[in-house]
Chain A
Amino acid sequence: MKPPVAYRQYHPKWHRTRVSTFWWSRKWSYLKFMLRELSSVFVAFYVVILLLQLHALRGGPDAYQGFQDWLRNPLLVILNGISFLFVLFHAVTWFNLTPKAMAVRLRGKRLPDVLVAAPNYVAWLAVSALVVFLLTRQG
């Protein structure tokens, strides 16, 4: 951006308010935004768990059993419960915001946001069902 225009220096003094560090705690919609952004921490947290799982998988059946026992630690279960809520929040906000970024047009008319978001949810259900099927099918 350009430097301020020259006449400003002759202007009477303005009052500027500094944005508070905790600006996001003052309003529900801002707080919701902050929680949405913090969901990324739990996304990364899961990747770490996944990497540990892969590491245990390479270590053989005993190491893998150890990993599964470790997941039963109550603290970890609570943490994963919180993590689950956050990624759920991420998924819902993400799917709902997609129509904003993609203005889908059909025969000259913009499709309503609901119609753009709906396929996301259908695909989400399908993917989730497939993962559950693959991981719980025995043998």
Chain B
Amino acid sequence: MAETITIEVARYRPEEEGEPALQSYEVPLNKDWVVLDALNHIKDHVDGSLSFRWSCRMGVCGSCGMTVNGEPKLTCATFLSHYAPGPIRVEPLKNFPVVRDLVIEMTDFLEKLQSVKPWIVRKDDPAPAKGEFLQTPEQLDEFKQFSMCINCMICYAACPVYGLDPQFVGPAAIALAQRYNLDSRDQGEQERLDVLSQHEGIWGCTFVGECTEVCPKNVDPAGAIQQYKLAATKDWFKSFLMPWSKQ
């Protein structure tokens, strides 16, 4: 018999139990298996009632974020062997309501994401007949890091400010706002600033910095937020000293 490892999975079936409880499973400790493989093994061969989200298995879709031994992780990029001899505790992402087992409710995040207009805003809409907007590699480089975000919400799970105050817009949404602000083709900076310069926008952030630490795509949301604060402060002083500059 091959080597195995114990996985403790948080189960929550609202029609059966009032509180989530851990359930243990033994899974093969294959050295090329990630936590997501183990969950799929359980679902396919041991207990079909286990619920969790996943899709691409390769760190692109951002669906499989969970809490592994207390840390928010993409389970498709977290190897079992890293935690050997175990046990491994798998729980849903923190700071979100749990719908069932490992599935969290993310409407709040999606609404916040939308509120910062993460798309190219143009004043000359519809797009000019001349064709596409051109951009140099240098201009692309300005925002490329922030565009790597896959909306996996791992930064929200790591952010104590979001956990304490769900009104806070949160790391990924602000990083994505900054991604479009820094895009040479975009003209929506002021619109986004009007949303984010509110109290629940950037000002709630106390720069814990964990969002940047846990990001699987090296997006650096903490940096984006600080840059945003600086920009908002400049904007504030500008409109304070020169009220006529803004209509």
CB distance B99 to A1 under 8 Å?
Answer: no
Partner of A33, one of B94, B208, B223: B208
Contacts of B230 in A (CB 8 A): 101-102
CB distance A15 to B12 under 8 Å?
Answer: yes
Contacts of B99 in A (CB 8 A): 11-12, 14
Cα distance, A23 to B46, chains bound together (Å): 35
Select the residue from A4, A11, A15, A103 with max chain B CB neighbours within 10 A: A15
**What's the least CB distance linking B175 to chain A, in Å?**
12
Contacts of B142 in A (CB 8 A): 105
Partner of B141, one of A8, A27, A109: A109
CB distance A37 to B98 under 8 Å?
Answer: no
Query: B98-139, CB under 8 A of A: which get 1 and which 0?
Result: 111000010110011001000000000000000000000010
Cα distance, A109 to B140, chains bound together (Å): 11
The range of chain B's interface size is 35 or more
Contacts A19-B160, A102-B227; is A12 near B98 (CB within 8 Å)?
Answer: no
CB distance A5 to B107 under 8 Å?
Answer: yes
**What's the least CB distance linking B53 to chain A, in Å?**
15
**What's the least CB distance linking A41 to chain B, in Å?**
15
Q: For residues 94 through 117 of chain A, which have their beta carbon under 8 Å from a beta carbon of chain B?
A: 97, 100-103, 105, 108-110
11 additional contacts, CB 8 Å, given A97-B209, A100-B226, A101-B223? Answer: A14-B99, A15-B14, A19-B95, A24-B160, A27-B70, A33-B208, A97-B207, A97-B226, A101-B229, A103-B227, A109-B141
A-contacting residues of B (Cβ < 8 Å)?
12, 14-15, 19-20, 70, 94-95, 97-100, 105, 107-108, 111-112, 115, 138, 141-142, 160, 163-164, 167, 200, 206-210, 212-213, 220, 222-223, 226-227, 229-230
